[in-house]
Amino acid sequence: MQITLVQIAGRTRKQDVYDPLVRDYLKHCVEVARCATESFPNEAAFFEWIGRQKGRTVPAVLLLDGRGRQMSSEAFADWLGRHRNEGTQHVVFAIGPADGWSDEARARARLRGGLLSLGTMTLAHQMARLVVAEQIYRACTILTGHPYHKGH
């Protein structure tokens, strides 16, 4: 399975001080999935990229959105494990533009995976990206029985 963590960065991508940490978390997921990051200038470019993804299965897409469902780390791991076990080839987690996802983008995501909320607080996009990377890593450790996740 391939996992891609996407961000809509706008025209100018600011230096992301969290990038080394994001990459470090994702490189340790190798027992469960290959992980990569992508950046797009806008949601149209992102959905165009999604449309070009070829494979046996349609990519599962979760947009990070305050209106999405919240999951515990265990539920998130279950969701990811279920996709892995069902043969989903590509899972995409996408952090949207500064002004949020459009209604059209949210509707498209609901057909392919859904919306995920990290909570009701607003986070800087770079920080949200780090939190998602850590949760992907945590989910992988839960799925492999690694002691990183102790359930608290």
CATH topology of domain 2-144: Alpha/beta knot (3.40.1280)
Predicted confidence (pLDDT) at residue 13 exceeds the cutoff of 70: no
Confidence of residue 65 (pLDDT cuts 50, 70, 90): very high
Q: Mean pLDDT, the chain, as a whole number?
A: 91
Domain spans of the chain?
2-144
Confidence of residue 91 (pLDDT cuts 50, 70, 90): very high
Q: What is the DSSP string of 75-134?
A: HHHHHHHHHHHTT--EEEEEE--TT---HHHHHHHHHHEEEE---SS---HHHHHHHHHH
pLDDT of residue 102: 94
Average pLDDT in the 104-126 region? 89
Is residue 126 a contact partner of residue 16, using CB atoms and an 8 Å limit? yes
Q: What is the pLDDT of residues 41-52, one digit of tens each?
A: 999 999 999 999
Q: What is the pLDDT of residues 27-37, one digit of tens each?
A: 999 989 999 99
Q: Which residue has the higher pLDDT, 10 or 104?
A: 104
Predicted confidence (pLDDT) at residue 18 exceeds the cutoff of 80: yes
pLDDT of residue 110: 81
Q: Which helix (H) or strand (E) holds 48?
A: helix 43-52
